[in-house]
């Protein structure tokens, strides 16, 4: 179908069918808003509430874990809400202004443009890419990727696994893997062992309604101890080695800033390294829309700015969940609810008073969750040294195979913009559209030129937001227009 044929105007389009998007849809529909939700995958639930693939039959839901259950409930409520749900649809373009236009395609089928008065971006986050020597070897994969393989596909990523990362998810996942029959050889936690202050902070935050989370954490620690799985605090992955796949992994001690300490290496005989050092928000759509961004290393870098109603800097555009730097399904749900209610209010479907009333409970819950999160983050602060784990000959742009040294050698004199390195080396030009190398490219550029990370322009936000097949968006009926657009004179 040709572009430019609006397939209908909608009051609200939600991009992303994870916990934030689903919760937003439920609240928006509750207020009577005409809502469309777009999800790239075949199944709803996002990364947190991953659902089994079509074709698998869940015979004992109770055995699938709390997340699966919670996810199923949320999904069912969304399905029953009257939201128009488009799964297996990829958003490839978004433009803002008086009306937001969303270009979407269904692989192998067709493309169309949706127009929406309001937008909620619930596009999630992805594992923070951390280059280190050997990270491109088969057998090195993100914790998120390993989880998807294990939880959804029920396949183990390897036989002998080293977990390397930071934060409670690393612990949880190591335990989960082991329970499913994997041989988890060790867990590397980059943060130092928790001290009295950190523990006290966690206890205080837990007292505000988060006991469940704290208990869980303690159980995980006990499990690792009981099964003789070493948990090495203050350690990180130094490198992975092997010919065609991982045969060995080397750990190293790190200081509080996560800088690797010399002569502290320790080798592990493993075929798999799961890497989990936090998440980076999926910023493609916020960037293309020109949303204002803040910078927070803890949250994975740039994050769209928003107010307490989850409104971004663009009128009619809201953000919720992991894309806003928010960790955890529970908090994502509450942010989604707030965004859905705020969108309904902006459309005139709810009065200010009604909106305030509906937002009260989610705000309270979110506040409590955020307290616990802050305490946790204090225990697992991301160290800036992580940007230095790549060696000169470590591939930084995986798609185009550009190393750190090649990046350093291709910074033009006087350049203030990492995009110039992209132009010379092709770093950032591959199919992943710079998702896996952008942050490191900026870090290297910053170190070489002395310009601060926060001040560097990002890899230029461009369309398409995701690769899109030509056959779906080409319009062979058009002729070359003769009108000419002049650039700004400035």
CB of 11: closest distance to other proteins in angstroms? Answer: 22
How far is 49 from 236, CA to CA, in rounded Å?
28
Is residue 444 within 8 Å of residue 462, measured between CB atoms?
no
Instruction: Kindly tell me which of 302 and 398 has the beta carbon lying closer to other proteins.
Output: 398
What single DSSP character describes residue 240?
Answer: E
CB of 479: closest distance to other proteins in angstroms? Answer: 7
CB of 475: closest distance to other proteins in angstroms? Answer: 4
CB of 294: closest distance to other proteins in angstroms? Answer: 20
CB of 57: closest distance to other proteins in angstroms? Answer: 4
Q: Which helix (H) or strand (E) holds 7?
A: strand 6-15
Instruction: Kindly tell me which of 146 and 174 has the beta carbon lying closer to other proteins.
Output: 146
Those residues with Cβ within 8 angstroms of residue 479's Cβ, 6 or more apart along the chain or in another chain:
none
Say what angle helices 329-346 and 66-80 make with each other, to 10 degrees.
20
Instruction: Kindly tell me which of 177 and 376 has the beta carbon lying closer to other proteins.
Output: 177
Q: Give me the residue label for tokens 């700015």.
A: 305
CA nearest to 84, candidates 147, 21, 149, 3: 21
What SS3 state is found at 466?
coil
What single DSSP character describes residue 1?
Answer: -
Instruction: Kindly tell me which of 45 and 362 has the beta carbon lying closer to other proteins.
Output: 45
CB of 253: closest distance to other proteins in angstroms? Answer: 26
Instruction: Kindly tell me which of 353 and 489 has the beta carbon lying closer to other proteins.
Output: 489
CB of 411: closest distance to other proteins in angstroms? Answer: 7
Instruction: Kindly tell me which of 262 and 476 has the beta carbon lying closer to other proteins.
Output: 476
Those residues with Cβ within 8 angstroms of residue 439's Cβ, 6 or more apart along the chain or in another chain:
128, 129, 280, 301
Instruction: Kindly tell me which of 146 and 238 has the beta carbon lying closer to other proteins.
Output: 146
How far is 108 from 7, CA to CA, in rounded Å?
18
What single DSSP character describes residue 100?
Answer: E
CA nearest to 362, candidates 8, 3, 17, 26: 26
Instruction: Kindly tell me which of 221 and 424 has the beta carbon lying closer to other proteins.
Output: 424
CB of 293: closest distance to other proteins in angstroms? Answer: 16
Instruction: Kindly tell me which of 450 and 479 has the beta carbon lying closer to other proteins.
Output: 479
Q: How far is CA 70 from CA 22, 23, 48, 329, in A?
A: 12, 12, 10, 9
Give per-residue burial for 256-288: e unless 16+ CB within 10 Å, then b.
Answer: eebbbeeeeeeebebbbbbbbbbbbbbbbbbbb
How far is 425 from 265, CA to CA, in rounded Å?
33
CB of 82: closest distance to other proteins in angstroms? Answer: 29
Pairing of strands 279-281, 231-233: unpaired
């Amino acid at each position: 179908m040709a572009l430019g044929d609006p397939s209908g105007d909608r009051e609200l389009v939600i991009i992303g069918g994870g916990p934030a998007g689903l919760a937003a849809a439920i609240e928006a529909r509750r207020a009577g808003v005409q809502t469309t939700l777009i999800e790239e995958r075949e199944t709803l639930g996002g990364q947190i509430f991953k659902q089994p693939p079509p074709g698998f039959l869940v015979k004992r839901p109770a055995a699938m874990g709390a997340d699966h259950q919670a996810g199923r409930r949320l999904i069912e409520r969304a399905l029953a809400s009257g939201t128009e749900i488009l799964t297996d649809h990829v958003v490839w373009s978004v433009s803002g202004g008086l009306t937001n236009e969303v270009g979407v395609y269904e692989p192998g089928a067709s493309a169309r443009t949706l127009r929406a008065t309001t937008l909620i971006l619930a596009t999630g986050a992805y594992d923070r890419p951390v280059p280190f020597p050997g990270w491109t070897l088969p057998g090195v994969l993100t914790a998120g990727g390993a989880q998807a393989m294990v939880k959804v596909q029920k396949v183990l990523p390897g036989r002998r696994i080293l977990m390397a990362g930071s934060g409670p998810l690393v612990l949880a996942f190591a335990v989960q893997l082991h329970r499913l029959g994997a041989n988890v050889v060790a867990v590397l936690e980059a943060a130092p062992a928790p001290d009295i202050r950190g523990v006290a902070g966690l206890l205080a935050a837990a007292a505000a309604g988060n006991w469940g989370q704290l208990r869980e954490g303690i159980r995980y620690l006990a499990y690792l101890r009981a099964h003789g799985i070493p948990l090495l605090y203050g350690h990180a992955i130094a490198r992975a080695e092997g010919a065609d796949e991982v045969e060995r992994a080397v750990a190293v001690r790190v200081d509080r800033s996560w800088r690797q300490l010399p002569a502290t290496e320790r080798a592990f005989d493993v075929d798999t390294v799961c890497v989990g050092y936090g998440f980076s928000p999926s910023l493609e759509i916020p960037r293309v829309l020109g949303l204002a961004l803040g910078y927070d290393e803890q949250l994975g870098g740039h994050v769209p700015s928003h107010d307490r109603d989850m409104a971004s800097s663009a009128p009619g555009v809201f953000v919720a969940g992991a894309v806003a730097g928010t960790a955890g399904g529970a908090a994502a749900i509450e942010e989604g609810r707030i965004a859905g209610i705020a969108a309904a209010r902006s459309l005139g479907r709810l009065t200010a008073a009604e909106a305030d009333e509906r937002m009260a409970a989610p705000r309270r819950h979110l506040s409590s969750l955020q307290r616990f999160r802050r305490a946790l983050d204090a225990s697992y602060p991301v160290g800036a040294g992580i940007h230095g784990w790549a060696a000169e000959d470590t591939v930084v742009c995986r798609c185009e195979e550009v190393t750190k040294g090649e990046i350093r050698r291709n910074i033009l004199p006087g350049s203030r913009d990492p995009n110039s390195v992209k132009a010379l080396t092709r770093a950032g030009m591959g199919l992943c559209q710079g998702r896996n190398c952008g942050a490191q490219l900026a870090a290297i550029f910053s170190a070489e030129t002395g310009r601060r990370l926060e001040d560097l322009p990002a890899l230029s936000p461009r369309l398409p937001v995701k690769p899109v097949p030509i056959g779906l968006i080409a319009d062979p009926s058009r002729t070359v227009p003769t009108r000419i657009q002049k650039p700004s004179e400035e």
